[in-house]
């Protein structure tokens, strides 16, 4: 595939590595080349199959609008724009393109969400629950998008219970650790996902771009990862 990778940061550079290993042709664009969207004109996008975005909340919506209007498929890993999900879905449907997004492109984390969903049954049996998340000290947002996704999954599975409390820690270079602890008067259950590197995000995003080739529609990765 001909991939355009937006963002040369911590995750974007790994996406470039994985894409090269999987024999895709890649062009990677950072903020210097795309500060005002100048890398996303129809001319520059000609010949690109799919755009993968790991940039930042302040520019991701402009990137999405330019690429979808140019009828390009997109895989969007950047977070912080989900209040606009309905508007983006309508844009994608209007332009008949393919689009996959996720706060977390790791297959392991998505499997963990399924496990948490099953474990929510404890909340109907005298257990209380808490969510803990740890990330590197440079991470700006708290709680993490993944912790919020865990909280939402548990609430959907046990709607009589209030949202579980999330406690966030920011320290050192922790890639991403999420724990759910259920506690009853008699015992405790611990669920833990500990990311060793960002590589699983990059692999998930590139394999999603492969899956999306020739498809149209607006997808959440949680409904797609089993098919990769
Ligand atoms: N969905 C997932 O699986 C997943 C996983 C990890 C991270 N994320 C999300 O992905 C985003 C990036 O994370 P990260 O850790 O890689 O951050 P990062 O290291 O800060 O990288 C972001 C990069 O985007 C660049 N950028 C900013 N504006 C741009 C523009 N208009 N065009 C092209 N590039 C631009 C920045 O360049 P400058 O430094 O020059 O400004 C920076 O290199 C965040 O929203 C994060 O929450 C999602």
Q: Comparing 70-74, 137-141, 169-173, which segment has the lowest mean pLDDT?
A: 137-141
Query: Which residue's CA is the nearest one to ligand 1's atom 21?
Result: 9
The confidence score (pLDDT) of residue 145 equals: 84
Q: Which residues are catalytic?
A: 135, 139
Q: Distance between the two ends of the chain, CA-based, in angstroms?
A: 16
- Alpha carbon distance 13, 18 (integer Å): 9
DSSP readout, 86-144? HHHHHHHHHHT-EEEE-S---HHHHHHHHHHHHHGGGGGTT-EEEEEEEE-TT---SS-
The confidence score (pLDDT) of residue 141 equals: 78
- What is the position in ligand 1's atom list of the atom closest to the CA of 62? 31
| Average pLDDT value for the chain | 95
Question: pTM to 2 decimals?
Answer: 0.90
As a whole number, mean pLDDT of residues 175-203 equals 96
Q: Does the pLDDT at position 121 exceed 80?
A: yes
Q: Is 176 in the pocket of ligand 1 (CB under 6 A)?
A: no
Tens digit of each residue's pLDDT (9 = 90 or more) over 11-66: 999 999 999 999 999 999 999 999 989 999 999 999 999 999 999 999 999 999 99
- What is the position in ligand 1's atom list of the atom closest to the CA of 105? 3
Q: Is 29 in the pocket of ligand 1 (CB under 6 A)?
A: yes
What 3-state class would DSSP assign to 35? coil
Q: Is 174 in the pocket of ligand 1 (CB under 6 A)?
A: no
């Amino acid at each position: 595939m001909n991939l355009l990778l937006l963002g040369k940061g911590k995750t974007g550079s790994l996406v470039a590595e994985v894409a090269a290993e999987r024999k895709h042709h890649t062009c990677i664009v950072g903020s210097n080349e795309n500060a005002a969207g100048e890398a996303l004109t129809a001319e520059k996008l000609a010949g690109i199959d799919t755009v993968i975005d790991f940039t930042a909340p302040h520019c991701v919506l402009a990137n999405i609008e330019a690429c979808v209007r140019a009828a390009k498929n997109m895989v969007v890993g950047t977070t912080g724009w989900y209040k606009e999900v309905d508007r983006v879905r309508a844009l994608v449907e209007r332009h008949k393109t393919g689009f996959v997004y996720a706060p977390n492109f790791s297959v392991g984390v998505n499997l963990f969400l399924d496990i948490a969903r099953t474990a929510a049954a404890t909340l109907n049996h005298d257990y209380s629950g808490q969510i803990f998340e740890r990330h590197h000290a440079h991470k700006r947002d708290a709680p993490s998008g993944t912790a919020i996704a865990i909280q939402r999954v548990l609430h959907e599975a046990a709607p009589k219970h209030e949202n579980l409390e999330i406690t966030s820690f920011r320290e050192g270079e922790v890639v991403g650790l999420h724990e759910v602890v259920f506690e009853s008067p008699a015992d405790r259950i611990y669920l833990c996902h500990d990311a060793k590197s960002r590589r699983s995000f990059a692999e998930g995003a590139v394999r999603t771009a492969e899956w999306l080739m020739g498809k149209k529609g607006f997808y959440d990765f949680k409904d797609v990862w089993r098919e990769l």
